Amino acid sequence: DIQMTQSPSTLSTSVGDRVTITCRANQSISSWLAWYQQKPGKAPKLLIYKASSLEGGVPSRFSGSGSGTEFILTISSLQPDDFATYYCQQYNGYPWTFGQGTKVEIK
Amino acid sequence: EVQLVESGGGLVKPGGSLRLSCAASGFTFSTYSMNWVRQAPGKGLEWVSSINSRSTYIEYAGSVKGRFTVFRDNAKSSLYLQMNSLRAEDTAVYYCAREGPDYWGQGTLVTVSS
């Protein structure tokens, strides 16, 4: 199985900050990576697919980059609505696997 | 508007069975592959199973293979997950998700406990 490792696990940050979350795969997954945002008690919401493609309706402050084994989710200027947990997911092959999550919290 | 509505969750004893349903609307269900993803309380996301649009290709996570069965009824725009031989570690919110997965349902809670 492909293992996905996110860092950091928790990020204490402030409104307006630039945020970067890293996701590493233990083998190449090309660009078959998605990023999700999840708020407590809610379903995950797709933000980015194919490593860098922005899902429709997602604010442009979110961006994704990377290929192969290293990927980055960037939030250019954190907004109050962005405090949540973020997950990466590879869909290069089955079983699909997720990172352990990064909780973005208020400093 | 794409909608996915799960149902069928509840409390079941270890070794018991449960069938989850997912009713889809707002898109042509028969042309999309579908997935089940679960999340144990306070934990991360775990992919469970995927089924293609015509039910000719199915995959399961190793943790559920041989115990869970995914199937769909395109005429009813519905996805199902038959869960047998349930264990405490199957306790989770189960989400139905379309293809990508891009759209997710709100989830249904399955609790396995004596």
**B99 — contact with chain A (CB < 8 Å)?**
no
Contact across the interface for A87 and B45, Cβ inside 8 Å = yes
By DSSP bridging, strand B78-83 and strand B18-25 are antiparallel
Long-range contacts from A73-77, C-beta under 8 angstroms, 24+ separation: A73/A20, A73/A21, A73/A23, A73/A35, A73/A47, A73/A48, A74/A18, A74/A19, A74/A20, A74/A21, A75/A18, A75/A19, A75/A20, A75/A104, A76/A18, A77/A16, A77/A17, A77/A18
Q: How far apart are CA B69 and CA B49, in angstroms?
A: 9
Facing residues of A106 across strands? Answer: A13
How many angstroms separate the most distant Cα atoms in chain A? 38
Looking at every residue in chain A, the average pLDDT score rounds to: 96
Looking at every residue in chain B, the average pLDDT score rounds to: 97
pLDDT of residue A106: 87
List CB contacts of A75: < 8 A, sequence separation 6 or more: A18, A19, A20, A61, A62, A82, A104
**A34 — contact with chain B (CB < 8 Å)?**
yes
Q: What is the pLDDT of residues B30-76, one digit of tens each?
A: 999 999 999 999 999 999 999 999 999 999 999 999 999 999 999 99
Find chain B residues with C-beta within 8 A of A45's C-beta. 104
Residue B101 pLDDT level (bands cut at 50, 70, 90): confident
Q: How far apart are CA A73 and CA A82, in angstroms?
A: 13
pLDDT of residue B110: 98
Q: How far apart are CA B78 and CA B105, in angstroms?
A: 12
Q: What is the pLDDT of residues B14-39, one digit of tens each?
A: 999 999 999 999 999 999 999 999 99
Question: Which one, of B36, B41, B38, B11, lies nearest residue B22 by Cα?
Answer: B36
Give the side-chain half-sphere CA count within 13 A for B41: 7
Q: What is the pLDDT of residues A13-55, one digit of tens each?
A: 999 999 999 999 999 999 999 999 999 999 999 999 999 999 9
